[in-house]
Each structure stands twice: as structure tokens, then as C-alpha cells.
Amino acid sequence: MTRPITLILAALALAIAVPAAAQEGTLKKIKDGGSITIGHRDASIPFSYYDDKQQPVGYAVELCLRIVDAVKSELKMPKLDVKYQLVTSANRVPLMANGTIDLECGSTTNNLARQEQVWFTITHFVTANRWVAKKSANLRTLQDLKGKTVVSTAGTTNIKGITEINAAQNLGLSIISANGHPEAFQMVETGRAAAFVMDDILLYSLAAQSRNPGDYAISTEATSVEPYGIMLRKDDAAFKKVVNAAMTNIYKSGQINAIYEKWFLKPIPPKGINLNIPMSDQFKRVVANPTDSGDPAAYK
């Protein structure tokens, strides 16, 4: 056999082998390793954060644990080990793509741009992009923000969105990034920024936990709709089928009502704060007709 033919056959063998390995997917990875790894946040209250024992808790974490139960059943592995991996807004997508985590359970917006890198399961919350500022500043509209310094969290859709709006509307904003939501809120507290642009549900929770909750106002004007989804690896249809079936069952069986009430309508750990945020009409529609759409128009 000549060398060129040998090289051609070797290349063909590699081309066949790589897709086959890729198709093994998350279920095989979990079964072979005997564990599933949940990516979580440290301060995305009430979705994913640490309690007073430094254990990951929250609405999204609880949903992920229900998904883990479905994976255990699918693989017939009742003693499957659950591992936790702290992630940030900046590294959550790369850690999913490279296989470090199997589910990302936080406050991650499902949008069409991210779907080019990762997949999402059925939407578990619908929020909007707004900003928080001190009431005394009276920053109610985008025009009120003109020429101000605003902050958002690095690696989020929010900082990208406000940057685009700033350019399109010539607002003259000075936009700075923070490493996490608490740091960004603190910049408003201390006057280093006039406003913090973020998903409204996260702003409500941060304001509720602050020293003087009554000092802050969240804008009535919203700049976008943000559907949250649990992230999983792209092109893994077998795993997504199990995950979506688990989420659909939670919605259709009515379990979602008690889970939602626990995290949004009752005191939550560790400080016993009650966010008192009823289920929105947008999310009620998702519960009735589950969707994993990354198109904001699907939620209006």
C-alpha cells in the first residue's frame, strides 16, 4: 500500500472516529464516571447561591436535582454521585463546552447567540433587563441615565445589551464591569456607579438584602426580555431528551407551583428574606406550554 493511500485511509478513519466519540455524550460520561457535575453560582439569589453552611441552594439548583433524579432513573444508577462546581458569568459557557460541568444551574439567559455554543432546557423563569439606582437619583428612563456611569456584571447579556443601547442612542454612558452581582450593587451603594443594569429579579433580591432596601428603586422601563434556562452541552440530543422530559413532568404534574412558592413567595435561607414575587403571566404560559426558545418574542 502506498504512503498517500495510507494517509487517506487514516484520515477517513479519524473522520469517522471523532463523531462517534462525540455522540457518546453526557449520559455515557455520567455512567462511566459514576457522577454528574452541577455548575452553580455563589450569589444569584434565589436561583443559585450559598446558604449559611456554604452549600449550593436555590430555585434552579432544586430543579437541577429533580433532573438528576431523572438521570438516575434513566441510567438505573440510584447511587449516582452529585458533584458541585462553582461557576461565574464569565466562565460558565466555556466550562460547559469543555465538559467540566454537565448542568449549569443558575440565572443564565437563553438566547440565540448562546445557542451557537451550548443548549438549554425548558425555560424556568422569565425576567427583564432593568436597572437599580438610588431613589434620590430619580433615574427612571434611559434618557435619565444619559452621561452617567453604570455598571453591569462581566460575561452577561446585560452588559452587552447596555453597550449596544449606549451606542445606538448616543447616551454617553461610562460602562464598567464587575466580577459579580454583589460587587456591582455595592458600586451603586457607594456611589461609584449611578445604576446597576441587570435582570430585574436579581436586582430585587439584592435590594431586599441591602442595609436600607427603601433607598433603592428599580426602573419601570425594561430594555429586553430574558428567559432563563438550565444549560447543557450542544448537540447532545439523548441527554436533552431526558432533561426536557424531567422539566416537562415538573410543570405538567404541578410540582412547579410548590417549588416556585418555596423560593419566591416564602422566606428563603439564610436570612429569611421573602422576595414576594408572584409567578408572572409570561412564565405561567411557559408552564402551560413548555418551551426552550431563545427568541424573546416567544415570551411576549
Asked if residue 1 belongs to a domain, the reply is: no
- Same domain? For 45 and 104 the reply is yes
- Same domain? For 134 and 221 the reply is yes
Asked if residue 13 belongs to a domain, the reply is: no
Give the domain-ending residue among 200, 225, 250.
225
- Same domain? For 36 and 116 the reply is yes
pLDDT digits (tens, 9 = 90+) for 245-295: 999 999 999 999 999 999 999 999 999 999 999 999 999 999 999 999 999
Percent of the chain with pLDDT over 70: 92
**Total domains, the chain:** 2
Q: Are strands 125-134 and 195-199 parallel, antiparallel or unpaired?
A: antiparallel
- Same domain? For 110 and 139 the reply is no
CA distances from 154 to 28, 123, 143, 191 (A): 33, 23, 23, 19
Prediction pTM value: 0.85
Asked if residue 14 belongs to a domain, the reply is: no
Q: What is the average pLDDT score of the chain? A: 92
**Dist CA 4 CA 137 (whole Å):** 73
Highest average pLDDT, of 1-5, 20-24, 227-231, comes from: 227-231
pLDDT digits (tens, 9 = 90+) for 154-166: 999 999 999 999 9
- Same domain? For 31 and 120 the reply is yes
- Same domain? For 234 and 220 the reply is no
- Same domain? For 119 and 253 the reply is yes
Asked if residue 179 belongs to a domain, the reply is: yes
Specify the range with the lowest mean pLDDT, choosing from 9-13, 58-62, 115-119, 260-264: 9-13
pLDDT at 299: 94
- Same domain? For 201 and 88 the reply is no
pLDDT at 34: 97
Give the domain-ending residue among 164, 195, 225.
225
- Same domain? For 169 and 182 the reply is yes
Give the domain-ending residue among 204, 225, 246.
225
Cell of 139: 433615574
- Same domain? For 186 and 62 the reply is no
Average pLDDT over residues 72-99: 97
Question: Residue 6 pLDDT > 80, yes or no?
Answer: no
- Same domain? For 39 and 114 the reply is yes
Query: Which CATH number covers residue 280?
Result: 3.40.190.10
Range of the domain at 184: 127-225
pLDDT at 300: 83
**Dist CA 137 CA 124 (whole Å):** 33
Asked if residue 8 belongs to a domain, the reply is: no
**Dist CA 181 CA 63 (whole Å):** 22
19 band by pLDDT with thresholds 50, 70 and 90: very low
Nearest 5°: CA angle at 212, between 209 and 216? 90
Asked if residue 99 belongs to a domain, the reply is: yes
Question: Residue 23 pLDDT > 90, yes or no?
Answer: no
**Dist CA 249 CA 131 (whole Å):** 35
Asked if residue 2 belongs to a domain, the reply is: no
Asked if residue 11 belongs to a domain, the reply is: no
Q: Are strands 35-40 and 81-86 parallel, antiparallel or unpaired?
A: parallel
- Same domain? For 119 and 188 the reply is no
Average pLDDT over residues 188-216: 96
